[in-house]
Amino acid sequence: MIQFKRKTCGDLEPALHREWLETNGLGGFASSTIIGLNTRRYHGLLVAATKPPVGRLVLLSKLEKTLLIDLSAYPKTLALLARVSGSLDVSDAHDLSC
């Protein structure tokens, strides 16, 4: 099994350039970056081969993790956006990314 250290996952730029791919042997697959941000049009958790080898359909793009604190929801995506843009006020949200 390949493992990445927290430092690699916690640094957005290098993490976006590390991807994974799992195939099913029938033309379908799952793929994304190691931090779960889909940066390519063929990234998805369930990509079916409708007409192998070329016809593919993304059936499940992603699952979203959400942290609930005192009835307030903080999606993982929001935490990553806060780190990238610096414009969102989410205290310590970057700790959710790994």
Please tell me whether residues 38 and 52 are part of one structural domain. yes
Please tell me whether residues 52 and 70 are part of one structural domain. no
pLDDT in tens, 12-56: 888 889 999 999 999 999 999 998 888 898 899 999 999 877 889
pLDDT in tens, 72-88: 887 776 555 555 555 44
Please tell me whether residues 68 and 58 are part of one structural domain. no
How many residues in total does the chain contain? 98
The model carries a pTM of 0.66
Report the pLDDT value the prediction gives residue 86, as an integer from 0 to 100: 52
Please tell me whether residues 58 and 96 are part of one structural domain. no
Please tell me whether residues 51 and 3 are part of one structural domain. yes
pLDDT band at 2 (very low <50, low <70, confident <90, very high): confident
Do the Cβ atoms of 47 and 31 come closer than 8 Å? yes
Report the pLDDT value the prediction gives residue 59, as an integer from 0 to 100: 94
The burial of 43, by beta-carbon neighbours within 10 Å (0-12 exposed, 13-18 middle, 19 or more buried), is given as: buried
From start to end of 1-94, where are the E strands? 19-23, 29-33, 44-51, 55-60, 66-69, 72-75
Give the count of domains, the chain.
Answer: 2
Full domain range(s) for residue 76: 64-98
Please tell me whether residues 15 and 41 are part of one structural domain. yes
Please tell me whether residues 32 and 69 are part of one structural domain. no
